[in-house]
Structure 1
Amino acid sequence: MNKKTVRDIEVSGKKVLIRVDFNVPMQDGEITDENRIVEALPTIKYIVDNGGRAILFSHLGRVASAEDKKDATLAPVAKRLQELLQKEVKFVPETRGQVLEEAIANLKDGEILMFENTRFEDIEGKKESKNNPELGKYWASLGDVFVNDAFGTAHRAHASNAGIAANIKETVAGFLLEKEIKFIGGAVSNPKRPFVAILGGAKVSDKIEVISNLLNVADKVIIGGGMAYTFLKAQGFEVGTSLCEIEKLDLAKELLEKADGKIVLPVDFRFTKKFENEPASHVGPITDIKADEMSLDIGPKSVELFAEILATAKTVVWNGPMGVFEMSNYAHGTIGVCEAIANLKSATTIVGGGDSAAAAIQFGYASKFTHISTGGGASLEYLEGKLLPGIEIVANK
């Protein structure tokens, strides 16, 4: 990696602006998955242990009106961060102004401050999301150096990343961003082979560019989830009432032709008549589907086939579930694939954020993967081979 990290700068005695990604799921004011907070801890600890004055900020959800603010405050996150660090985190419920400026001015070396949800600036004119120049300049004025550690927003040029970087002397990567560049960027640019990509999820249209790019760099591209039915339909199979993008059939045919055998599709499925968590009525090849049935998961022979392909892999990237894993009767495929990847002994195994990351954590396999990405959309765009604004702003070594 040729990007500068926080190791490459002096932080002692400096006000260090740190863009973290604390956009965590919340329910009734409680955090339901704190993985993104935990992943940010090494960078925060490094800065305060080396005498920096840590100024943290993040977005949380989408904030379109003043009514949204009460459910989008970062106060619960600051509280949980304080518990994890076992160190005081001063929370300022403002995004700008005298109260925030005075709190920052009063910070001492090794102390931590977090200010309020950056998206509160979106209520009038989307100043954060539209990278308002005045806002980026203002936030930059609050610190001496900028550490970007928010991979989850790296695919967006916002005031809290690109805007600050344009108005401050130097921008470097935190340890989490460094990891994302190393693992996901490395998988796309220089993978150990064989390189196997597994793509799931609902729609081909969501992952056209990912599939196309991975066909250029991967040795095999396994496709499951709702996407598989569009490819099967493109091959002439009937798919009943399964999710299928009819308008993408020609595209699926083109991708299959381009793949020249690299694309691997499921060979059996779990069929049912209703989108409900009831046991499958039967399991078999796609030719067994009835006109009024749908498939909500891949079957055991597909898991076995995918596991055989994975067994020889040296690099694996997984993005997207194999079925409706939120329903226990249709989580078998996702669990099976997750288990097959987790049990690989000598491969670099990467989960590309989103539902895949949630599944790996939910099913207890998180510790067995080399890297679980904290970015959903950012991971996808990185796998597409795109340049991400949040990475491009980081200074080169």
Structure 2
Amino acid sequence: MLSIREAQLKNKRVLLRLDLNLPMKDGKLTSTFRLRAALASIRYLLARQAKIILISHLGRPQGFDKRFSLEPIILELKRHLKVPIFWTEEVLSMAVRKKAERLDNSEILVLGNLRYLPEEEANDLKFAKELASLADIYVNDAFSCSHRAHASIVGVTKFLPSYAGLRMEEEIESLDRLLTRHPKPFLMLVGGAKLKDKTDTLRNILPIAERVALGGGTANTFLKAQGEEISESLYEESLLDVAREMINHYPEKLILPVDWLVEYLPSGGFRISDVGPLTLAILEREIAHAKTIFLAGNFGISEDERFRGGTEKILRIMAKTLKRTIISGGDTVGLAEQLNLLSRFAFVSTGGGATLEFLAGKPLPGLEALKERCPYCRGAFGGKHPSFQE
């Protein structure tokens, strides 16, 4: 795929797709990580006198809904950038077109929430063409959305010269390195609520990694498959056979919790809510032994402060090591941000589902769309790209 570094940007209107779907509570942002991750591409474009038309989604509105306005995010953006930033709640209209045409070099126009319009998620080509007609160039710097075949991710690439942003490049390089050329031993820690979202990732990673440790609801299905009593803990009945297959095939690689914290329920049963101290001691030894450590998903019910201690300790242990450490997933990254630990990791992925699908070896629609617009990726010039991997 082509890199933003290869584009002629001066005086050009650039349609820049970002993921500014930032978490909020009571109308206030609780994490700005994804916005800050996008600043490198924005500043690169501004420094080269491009005119930026910035697009993103927020949440899942059913039509126009002021609760899903990008306004709080734009106010945060203005804190970081001392350039003119214009904003409209509309996505496409004659007024939007006129504002785009009036943009000067090194100015930014932010359009309304893309998901106000159902055509976005439907990857409607007419909508994509109209969106593309606002600009001269398209840049995708929304890796975390690139597993979705939406109009602003896939459709627009059919109508504009298309490039990968700086953060997109960094995500691909870091995750590809994890799959193909990581320092060994490689330890992967997989938490989160659902095994279903991670089955393909585990199948792809287990042959590669030296050790794979499980926590959260993901681990519960494996514990149940082993015959452990998990009472009313979250697990996935339909995936018990999958868990047994992995346990039988990789007994020396899989690390399951050996103790846990529970919440007793009015029914008389209990729910596994976090990993216990013996498990954490095992994980600490594994982290000390590994040279590459990747954490995806929390190991406890971290929305409850009583049960985030296990994940906090794992993050603090990882943050202290000088090994190559990577974390991903909104809840995990959000907790690390609350603990002021983000700068202590070698790489922090903006992706959740996109990261897991990349590590599962699945083609991401957004990346495939960029490759289709790259002459090197299509075999021209001998397929030899001068500056960026295919």
TM-score w.r.t. length of structure 1: 0.90
Residue 229 of structure 1, CA deviation: 2.1
Residue 52 of structure 1, CA deviation: 0.8
Residue 224 of structure 1, CA deviation: 0.8
The residue aligned with 1:137 is 129
Structure 1: runs of 5 or more not aligned: 276-290
The residue aligned with 2:355 is 379
**SS of residue paired to 1:187:** helix
The residue aligned with 1:367 is 343
The residue aligned with 2:380 is none
Partners of 2:270 and 2:75 in 1: CA distance:
48
**SS of residue paired to 1:16:** strand
For the pair 1:239 / 2:216, whether they are aligned, the reply is no
Kindly provide the CA deviation profile for residues 161-207 of structure 1, in whole angstroms up to 9, marking residues without a partner as x: 21110111x21111111111111232123322111110011222221
Select the residue among 130, 133, 149 that pairs with 2:141. Answer: 149
The residue aligned with 1:318 is 295
Partners of 2:313 and 2:30 in 1: CA distance:
24
The residue aligned with 1:19 is 17
Alignment of 1:113-128 (within 5 A): 113-122=109-118, 127-128=119-120
- Kept in 2, the 8 Å contact 1:79–1:89? The answer is no
Among the aligned pairs, what percent are the same residue?
Answer: 36
The residue aligned with 2:381 is none
Partners of 1:255 and 1:111 in 2: CA distance:
53
Residue 145 of structure 1, CA deviation: 1.0
Partners of 2:114 and 2:163 in 1: CA distance:
20
For the pair 1:299 / 2:276, whether they are aligned, the reply is yes
Closer, same or farther: CA 161–292 of 1 in aligned 2, 3 Å: closer
Closer, same or farther: CA 20–295 of 1 in aligned 2, 3 Å: same
Residue 244 of structure 1, CA deviation: 2.6
Partners of 1:17 and 1:154 in 2: CA distance:
16
Alignment of 1:8-47 (within 5 A): 8-47=6-45
- Kept in 1, the 8 Å contact 2:83–2:106? The answer is no
The residue aligned with 2:214 is 223
Partners of 2:99 and 2:151 in 1: CA distance:
21
Letter in 2 for 1:365: L
- Kept in 1, the 8 Å contact 2:186–2:210? The answer is yes
**SS of residue paired to 2:117:** helix
- Kept in 1, the 8 Å contact 2:63–2:115? The answer is no
Partners of 1:354 and 1:234 in 2: CA distance:
28
Partners of 1:74 and 1:271 in 2: CA distance:
39
RMSD of aligned residue pairs (Cα, Å): 1.7
The number of residue pairs the alignment matches comes to 373
The residue aligned with 2:197 is 206
**SS of residue paired to 1:216:** coil
**SS of residue paired to 2:303:** coil
The residue aligned with 2:328 is 352
Select the residue among 307, 323, 333 that pairs with 1:330. Answer: 307
Partners of 1:328 and 1:301 in 2: CA distance:
20
Residue 247 of structure 1, CA deviation: 3.0
Letter in 1 for 2:286: I
The residue aligned with 1:60 is 58
Closer, same or farther: CA 80–343 of 1 in aligned 2, 3 Å: same
Closer, same or farther: CA 28–242 of 1 in aligned 2, 3 Å: closer
Partners of 1:250 and 1:177 in 2: CA distance:
36
Partners of 2:208 and 2:311 in 1: CA distance:
24
Closer, same or farther: CA 117–339 of 1 in aligned 2, 3 Å: same
Structure 2: runs of 5 or more not aligned: 378-384, 386-390
Residue 223 of structure 1, CA deviation: 0.4
Kindly provide the CA deviation profile for residues 190-240 of structure 1, in whole angstroms up to 9, marking residues without a partner as x: 322111110011222221111111112211110011222221221122222
Alignment of 1:92-107 (within 5 A): 92-107=88-103
**SS of residue paired to 1:342:** helix
Partners of 1:154 and 1:79 in 2: CA distance:
25
Residue 243 of structure 1, CA deviation: 2.1
Residue 26 of structure 1, CA deviation: 2.2
The answer to which of 28-37 and 138-147 deviates more is 28-37
- Kept in 2, the 8 Å contact 1:349–1:369? The answer is yes
- Kept in 1, the 8 Å contact 2:4–2:164? The answer is yes
- Kept in 1, the 8 Å contact 2:31–2:337? The answer is no
**SS of residue paired to 1:128:** helix
The residue aligned with 1:186 is 177
Kindly provide the CA deviation profile for residues 18-68 of structure 1, in whole angstroms up to 9, marking residues without a partner as x: 0011111123332221111111111111101111111111011112234xx
Residue 242 of structure 1, CA deviation: 2.1
The residue aligned with 2:256 is 265
Residue 159 of structure 1, CA deviation: 0.8
- Kept in 1, the 8 Å contact 2:15–2:138? The answer is yes
**SS of residue paired to 1:204:** coil
TM-score w.r.t. length of structure 2: 0.91
Letter in 2 for 1:381: E
Letter in 2 for 1:165: T
**SS of residue paired to 2:8:** coil
